[in-house]
Amino acid sequence: MNGELPKGWVWTSLENMTDIVLGQSPPSSTYNEDKFGLPFYQGKSEFGLIYPIPTKWCSSPKKIAEEGDILISVRAPVGPTNICPKKSCIGRGLAAIRGLGNINNKFILYLLRNSEEQFRNKATGTTFEAITGNVLRNFEVPLPPLAEQQRIVNKIEELFTNLDKGIESLEQVKYKLKIYRQAILKYAMEGKLTEKWREENKDKIDFFSYKSEESNDKLPKNWVWTSLENIVDILDNRRIPINAEEREKRINNKDESQLYPYYGSTGQVGWIDEYIFDEELILLGEDGAPFLDFIKDKAYLINGKSWVNNHAHVLRAIKDISVNPFICYYLNSFDYRKYITGTTRYKLNQSQMKKIIVPLPPLEEQHKIVEHIEQLFSLADYIEETVGSKLEQSKTLRQSILKKAFEGKLVPQDPNDEPAELLLEKIKKQRLNKEE
């Protein structure tokens, strides 16, 4: 047996307390996206937090899950669970589990979620890991009295509700930190972060005389509007594209120390056995980058030996005019809507990129702005790291709650509860009566 249980509990197999329906995929000709027939679930890909979200329907289902059944993924990945929201068709990647003898399906859901790692450990297969129907049927679980099952469900849901509120608050903090970073960049590029510094360093500022661009926005004294092409070297012609297959061949049998970062439009995407750049550079997404998402970064700083494909513009600040970090921060605060082309896959071509308008402070102030941004971002990073740690702790706490629940340590036992053995006997009799 798996361990000692409280009085009134019993170890039993899953098939002794539930009906188990193994999924079977119907012919693909019966699938549709027009909501004709029953919702069709094939596996974990359709799962939500509690309920799956249908993307296909089936006009001739082979196997059916009823409303309230617990759906468990039995093929890669093994173990995740959801509740079936309404009568549905299930494919071979799922099984439906239905409680008998008035066993609460929510109880089964939490019971299975507590056992997810054990299910994964029982999975077999080389191409797709899976568990068989026999593994499901013979899987041993702890069964408390029926009344205690309900107390366990109530307590779990109370604790999970409080936990979810905490998680929601932490997620809001993460989102607000992203907004905060954007606000910092906005203030920095308006000269607001260095107002005090300018007052203290009036005599040190040299006036810049670069070609100004038309703009209605006012700039601090000695700042000018200029276009990006005036303050950077554009190294796009040195980019060398390489496909995934060729890259894979080139890194086979190579020691990690012989490989160099391989960059694309959204930062590092892999490794390669050669490099084409060896300096600090700015990468700005050329296509596929989230140009309409003001929170996501569009530009990145890279340094040292690296390879860059043709999905990112490669820029280098012109010495004595600009500095890479300042330009990179500005490019991550910039509104690209007037500069990009395309409707589904946005593209920032080189000719448009060159025209990007930049508010340029004197060189010394650029360094000071970068220093201020990095100090403030460092604080945001620390908070975000703390939030991330708390979110990880919440996952551990959730599993700890489930573990205690099914060890009989979450709610008190009541000696007046009908023992689980009697519940199993009733289920057995019900089955025999059905067969007759």
At a CB cut-off of 8 Å and minimum separation 6, what does 256 contact?
none
Tokens, residue 8: 């009134």
DSSP 251: H
Tell which residue, 394, 291, 308, has the closest CA to residue 349. 291
Q: Is the pLDDT of residue 150 over 90?
A: yes
| Structure confidence by residue, pLDDT tens digits, 250-294 | 888 788 778 999 998 777 788 999 999 999 999 999 886 666 777
Dist CA 83 CA 435 (whole Å): 28
* pLDDT of 215 higher than 60: no
d(CA 137, CA 279): 60
Q: Are 91 and 35 in contact (CB under 8 A)?
A: no
Q: In what order do the strands lie in the sheet with 312-317?
A: 232-234, 312-317, 281-285, 299-302
SS3 of 324, please?
helix
The tens digit of pLDDT for each residue in 420-436 reads 999 999 999 988 887 76
Q: Which of 98-107, 130-139, 198-207 has the weakest average pLDDT? A: 198-207
For residue 363, give every residue at least 6 positions away whose Cβ sits within 8 Å of its Cβ, in sequence order, or none: 320, 321, 322, 323
Cβ neighbours for 17, distance < 8 A, ≥ 6 positions apart: 99, 100, 101, 103, 141, 143, 423, 424, 427
pLDDT tens digits along 205-214: 554 444 445 4
pLDDT band of 202, cuts 50, 70, 90: confident
pTM of the model: 0.75
